[in-house]
Structure 1
């Protein structure tokens, strides 16, 4: 039965929760297949118990080796359209793609999937016809699934599957991911070449090593502020509000004189407060949301009541993370405070307790 992308998103997230629950108790490849991998392809609409559609131990002869078998093949009119190589949940997929690489060229399939039940890596033959690329054009981790990834997974749903359409999109998707990886690396740790390139556009002097080192943190901060501005603009539009970040009132929290001398509320902490306020706009009256800063962490609270804390943000040179006031006191590592917005599903239930 065909499902819409929103339904698929909910079902995939539920399966991700299942992976989190079961992964430590699954010891073998076979257990991974039956408890995690087969349910995923069942979500995509395939009859995993019909060998004419979802064939286990599919024979893919490799060279002079006859009887070589791939874990699963999804078939259409007896022809394989997707080969699936399954590994144990405990396997590192970066070390396990050679087997699927060998199988790929012996069949008419255009797609190969390597998975350990949590991570899924999708391959095709963009670089050379009938030879599987060494790098996937799309990958995701079930326990860390992002909403934007669902549209790509949706294309592999049985009723939506179209070889030509997916192949056309695969190249753009693959190199888009390369661009994102490159930019992520440069934003977090700008290389000398990248800083020099930026300086070529904004600085007329000689780009010596001293100048490059001087401007590296400036470039890094500039990128982060640019991204924050873009994200905040998108958040405002998504929330259908004309309220800008600057217009969101930042409440002044009382502190004694001694505390005020020792505590400095940073720009990043105010940004975290603003992001949380935007995130909760449709859940609670934002005038009820306050912050309380102290030496160890930055507290976001309801009704200016420290007992009604929602999350605590910790920032130091080594890491940035926040703790949510749920039953598990969930701790989430983040790269930038804007990433708080990605965890609305965990933050909103905490706030709902205070309504």
Structure 2
């Protein structure tokens, strides 16, 4: 199983079992130990690799324990402190990590509740753990851009120097992305004032600020939707395409709720964000031939199927992603024989728009 597939499998496990895990010990057994084993690749039952309840006397603090220490070559490389999954992580939870980081050889410290993993190092001062993580992995919403750096901490390809070199950029880019996302969700006063001053020439009174709070929030959301829809609309490619259908599709492709409703409920099947985005692109292309509601999807263990009228005998395309390094778009000829086309990015689906439309017309 590929690294991304294992990561998605852990994410599914957390999602399915989260409600049943209410203690710290249960969090360790159900979530953290499988993460150490299947994602980081260390044998949790081998004390030469993973030491549970790791103890090191720290100043006047005697007998304090850290939940796990990951060893390489007889030296501590990674420290892991766990909290129960029902608690959001706070920097106050990391007090033992701060102390242990200074008295061991560890360069990486991890604070986790089994769903969110915060990775720390010592960018700000040598041998002193930073107050902010350089990498935050949320299994409920995996950021694919973090996967290569996370993989470098695994036993198989352990590359600590490379991770430390990337840590500063990861730290600030990640923080900026979270800050930008927070502004779009709930704009701060400074954000509102900045854009209000760009478009409003009068004095920014309390009444004006209240009015523009709603306007800036609305404009921000519309801007994000427009960016997504503009890219998807390029797939339609027909000058005379009816505006009413465009409006229907624009509403469709910008709806996270609609995509979520499409997910297969089979807990052994992992439907990824990339598959859903690929589905929406194919759906947008198909809308030049049929109404959007006729384009359906079914996920399976081996591929993500896109069908006309939810009919297996009317395949439009298949997405062969499944966490592999090379992704394939499966297209069908008049005899329903599938040919796989390697793609490096979702944008390349647009290049096959004519084939997708031809498949739909063959079923007319």
TM over 0.5: same fold? yes
User: Residue 131 of structure 1: SS of its match in structure 2?
Assistant: coil
Find out whether 1:220 has 2:217 as its counterpart.
yes
Find out whether 1:11 has 2:6 as its counterpart.
yes
Question: Which of 228, 248, 271 is matched with 2:250 structurally?
Answer: 271
Find out whether 1:176 has 2:173 as its counterpart.
yes
Question: How far apart are residue 78 of structure 1 and its match?
Answer: 1.2
What is the number of equivalent residue pairs in this alignment? 284
Question: How far apart are residue 109 of structure 1 and its match?
Answer: 1.1
Q: Indicate if the aligned counterparts of 1:83 and 1:113 stay in contact, CA closer than 8 A.
A: yes
Provide the residue aligned with 2:294 in structure 1.
Answer: 302
Quickly say closer, same or farther: Cα 1:351–1:139, change in 2 above 3 A: farther
TM-score, length of structure 1 as denominator length: 0.66
Specify every segment of 5 or more residues in structure 1 that has no aligned partner in the other structure, as ranges: 253-264, 291-300, 311-325, 327-342
User: Residue 140 of structure 2: SS of its match in structure 1?
Assistant: helix
User: Residue 105 of structure 2: SS of its match in structure 1?
Assistant: coil
CA distance in 1 between partners of 2:30 and 2:139 (Å): 14
Moved more, 67-76 or 200-209: 200-209
Q: Indicate if the aligned counterparts of 1:245 and 1:274 stay in contact, CA closer than 8 A.
A: no
TM-score, length of structure 2 as denominator length: 0.65
- What do the CA deviations read for 1:154-213 (whole angstroms, capped 9, x no partner)? 232223332222122222222223222322232233333223323444555544444444
CA distance in 2 between partners of 1:54 and 1:245 (Å): 59
Question: How far apart are residue 79 of structure 1 and its match?
Answer: 1.2
Question: How far apart are residue 250 of structure 1 and its match?
Answer: 5.5
CA RMSD in angstroms comes to 3.7
Question: Which of 61, 65, 68 is matched with 2:64 structurally?
Answer: 68
Q: Indicate if the aligned counterparts of 1:302 and 1:354 stay in contact, CA closer than 8 A.
A: no
Q: Indicate if the aligned counterparts of 2:43 and 2:50 stay in contact, CA closer than 8 A.
A: yes
CA distance in 1 between partners of 2:228 and 2:281 (Å): 16
Find out whether 1:124 has 2:121 as its counterpart.
yes
Q: Indicate if the aligned counterparts of 1:127 and 1:133 stay in contact, CA closer than 8 A.
A: yes
Quickly say closer, same or farther: Cα 1:350–1:26, change in 2 above 3 A: farther
Q: Indicate if the aligned counterparts of 2:48 and 2:71 stay in contact, CA closer than 8 A.
A: yes
Question: How far apart are residue 215 of structure 1 and its match?
Answer: 3.9
